[in-house]
Amino acid sequence: MQPDWDQRYRQGDTPWDKGHASPALIHWLKNYPGRISGHVLIPGCGAGHDVRAIADVEPASAALGVDLSPTAIATCQQNKVHDNEQYQQADLFQLPWKFHAAFDWVWEHTCYCAIDPSKRPQYVSAIASALKRGGTFLGIFYLNPHIDTTIPNDGPPHGTSIQEVESLFLGDREFALLDSKKPNACYPGREDREHILQFQRV
C-alpha cells in the first residue's frame, strides 16, 4: 500500500528530505557545467531542493518540479528563488498532454524508489513519453535503502539493482545507456548504496 504522501508532508514526516539538494547532483552540476540545458523535468520533486539547484547552476534551463502532494508544491512555491524554477502538482503517470515530448532532460532522485516496484515499467514509459527524441535521463538510484539486509525491504523506499534499471530502460529499445558509475558524493549513510545512470531517449 502506497503512503499518503500529502499527509506525510502535512505532518512533517519526511525523513527523505535532507534540507538540501542531492550531493551527487551538486557534484555533477559543478563538474559538467552547461551540460543540462533546455527544459528539465524533476518528478517527485518534494520540497524542490534539486529543482532550485538545477535552476541556480543552469540559468539557461527551465526546471519544472512535479509532485503528487499539493502541500509539497505549496512549500516549493513559498521557497521559490529563481524565475526559471517552476512547480506543478501532477502525477508522473498521468502527465498533462502538454508535457509529452516536452523535455530535454529528466532528473531522477527518490521518485523511482518511492513508487511500488510493480509500477517501474510504467515509470520508464512515463519518462520516455516526457522526453524529446535525443533527450537525456539522468538519475541516482537507491540500490539498498536498508543497512540491515536481514530486514525485508517492504519500502518505500524500495531498493533496486543496476541490472534491473538497465534492463527496464534498455528493454524496449527506447533508450541507450550513456553512463553508469558510482556517485562522487552522497548523503551521509548512503555510501556505496547509490548509483548514477544516464540514458538517452532514442
Model confidence, pTM: 0.94
Domains recognised in the chain with CATH numbers = 38-201 (3.40.50.150)
- Residue 82: count other Cβ atoms within 10 Å of its Cβ: 15
Mean pLDDT of the chain: 92
- Asked if 160 and 124 count as a contact pair (C-beta separation under 8 A), the reply is no
Kindly state the cell numbers that stand for 60.
539557461
Residue 165 in 3-state DSSP?
Answer: helix
Residues 6+ apart with CB under 8 A from 92: 43, 44, 66, 111, 123, 126
**Residue 149: its pLDDT value, please?**
56
Considering only CA atoms, give the Rg of the chain: 16
Distance, in Å, from the CA atom of 47 to the CA atom of 197, rounded to the nearest integer, reads 23
Q: Which helix (H) or strand (E) covers residue 175, if one does?
A: strand 175-181
Chain segment 128-147, per-residue pLDDT in tens: 999 999 999 999 999 988 75
Distance, in Å, from the CA atom of 48 to the CA atom of 156, rounded to the nearest integer, reads 20
**Residue 147: its pLDDT value, please?**
59
Chain segment 71-91, per-residue pLDDT in tens: 999 999 999 999 999 999 999
Considering only CA atoms, which of 147, 134, 85, 93 is closest in space to residue 116?
93
- Asked if 64 and 102 count as a contact pair (C-beta separation under 8 A), the reply is no
DSSP state of 196: E
Neighbouring-strand partners of residue 195: 141
Distance, in Å, from the CA atom of 171 to the CA atom of 15, rounded to the nearest integer, reads 33
Please classify residue 65 by burial: count the beta carbons closer than 10 Å to its beta carbon, then call 0-12 exposed, 13-18 middle and 19+ buried. Answer: buried
Chain segment 6-49, per-residue pLDDT in tens: 999 999 999 999 999 999 999 999 998 778 889 999 999 999 99
C-alpha angle 61-90-160 in degrees, rounded to nearest 5: 85
Q: Which residue has the higher pLDDT, 179 or 2?
A: 179
